[in-house]
Amino acid sequence: MNSPAAPTPPTRDHFKFRWDVLLLAVFLATCAPSVTGIPVHEWVSVAIVPIVAIHLAVNWNWIIDVTRRSLGRLQGEVRFNHVLDGLLFVGFALLMVSGILISESFLPSLGFARRTDPYWNNLHNTTANIFPSLIGIHLAMHWRWIVGKLRGRTTAAETPGGAP
């Protein structure tokens, strides 16, 4: 079977959109450590973890549904979104782990000694340079849904597979 996940109810869809706006705003704030300074960068980046967790939770039905069907036939756009979301997840995990390992403020505040490690530093900077492009593609893939929400439409029907 290759039918899309059930449409999201309007109120939940509305919440999802507002949450996505919050996530995007906080993400943009993490992308400019030279503007915010490293301590703010680190604490805002740590704060994004529960925001991402809730973003995943509200899209959980789609994730499970498409993952279950991913070994069979899937609409091309749905498969692309699924692979892209997997890359985003791995990229985010690398960003967070490498960021925490080179942290100048977060780890020391928990009592761990600050350490400089060029490997994790390079990994963090490289992932940080690639990750925004993945987010850009993710947004582009959901553009119809985003424009629909901005125009006040209430369903996820504009996106093949419903979400996320």
**Residue 48 or 156 having the CB closest to ligand HEM:** 48
Closest CB to ligand HEM among 62 and 106?
106
Tokens of 60: 């959980």
Q: Write down the least CB distance from residue 104 to ligand HEM, Å.
A: 5
Among 14, 15, 22, 33, binds ligand HEM (CB under 6 A): 33
**Site track 63-102 with ligand HEM (rule: CB under 6 A), x = hit:** --------------------------------xx--xx-x
Question: With contact defined as beta carbons under 8 Å apart, do 91 and 131 qualify?
Answer: yes
Give yes or no for residue 30 binding ligand HEM (CB under 6 A). Answer: yes
In terms of Cβ atoms closer than 10 Å to its own Cβ (0-12, 13-18, 19+), residue 155 is middle
Query: At residue 146, what are phi and psi to the nearest 5 degrees?
Result: -65, -45
31 binds ligand HEM (CB under 6 A): yes
CB-nearer residue toward ligand HEM: 135 or 146: 135
Provide the 8-state DSSP code for 156.
Answer: S
Cα 3 from Cα 96, distance rounded (Å)? 35
The smaller minimum CB distance to ligand HEM, of residues 67 and 109, is found at 109
Q: Is 42 in the site for ligand HEM (CB under 6 A)?
A: yes
Sole residue written with tokens 């490997």: 119
Q: Looking at residue 72, what DSSP letter applies? A: S
Q: Which residues 6+ apart lie within 8 Å of 120 measured at CB?
A: 98, 101, 102
- For ligand HEM, the binding residues (CB under 6 A) are 30-31, 33, 38, 41-42, 45-46, 48, 95-96, 99-100, 102-104, 106, 121, 124-125, 128-129, 131
